[in-house]
Chains A and B, each alone.
Chain A
């Protein structure tokens, strides 16, 4: 079975879901990601769902479970890139994505992780190259 690749970028694990996932594939991702968090000690996980044209209750539940597992393993999960039509459908379906932090895109997700990171890991996360704060 096809697997969703997990990339390590600095202190962040990046998962970009690009295919219409079978249920088994989503469960496999859940296991793989837990293992990678432990192996790498990464404190942040970004799941990019730009490529998903639907999120049904199964995928939604899997995302919630991944966020919970990550938290227990001392990593924060941020889901980014949700399409507006997917957000509208999720809300109407009744899915609240409890415990999941979201951001509009990968860049914002990295910013969010950097802001929440401890000072000592901040350098590792400083790869977003966002606008420098300029004081007037």
Chain B
């Protein structure tokens, strides 16, 4: 991931539906601070919502770290979601449109990736998953 921290990271534990809403609100606030356009704010908040729900449903809960970042040219918002859940055994499959292991639409991970500019996923079976995304201001 590029860019240096532009603000104190905000940490939000994810243990319930209400926490997913709180993550959305934190990301919205950071996206406004980073001066993202309304469409880009909407995209990054939607991506964060998908990923935070994954953290809750598949990861058994975890946390989100939300910060603004600056690469010297542009500002952006970074969201890092981590859990200590079962991990993802087949990452290619999990990133395929329409694939779901949990009865959803299978758009969460693949859809979220399309909505952001940078997407990094670290996962290990048995020890958890961390997803980091960045959306830059245009």
Contacts and interface: CB of A to CB of B under 8 A. Distances in A.
A123 interface: no
Nearest to A56: B49
B24 A93 contact: no
A89 B17 CA distance: 22
Contacts of A85: 38-39, 41-42
Interface string A25-43: 1000000000000000000
A88 B50 CA distance: 16
A34 to B, nearest CB: 20
A86 B42 contact: yes
A104 B7 CA distance: 39
Interface string B35-49: 000110111011001
A1 to B, nearest CB: 9
A24 B53 CA distance: 12
A84 to B, nearest CB: 8
**SS class, residues of chain B in contact with chain A:** helix
B43 A22 contact: no
Contacts of A86: 42
A4 interface: no
Contacts of B53: 23, 56, 58
A59 to B, nearest CB: 9
Contact of A61 (B17, B21, B104): B104
B74 to A, nearest CB: 20
A57 B17 contact: no
Interface of A: 20-25, 53-58, 60-61, 83-86, 88-89, 92-95
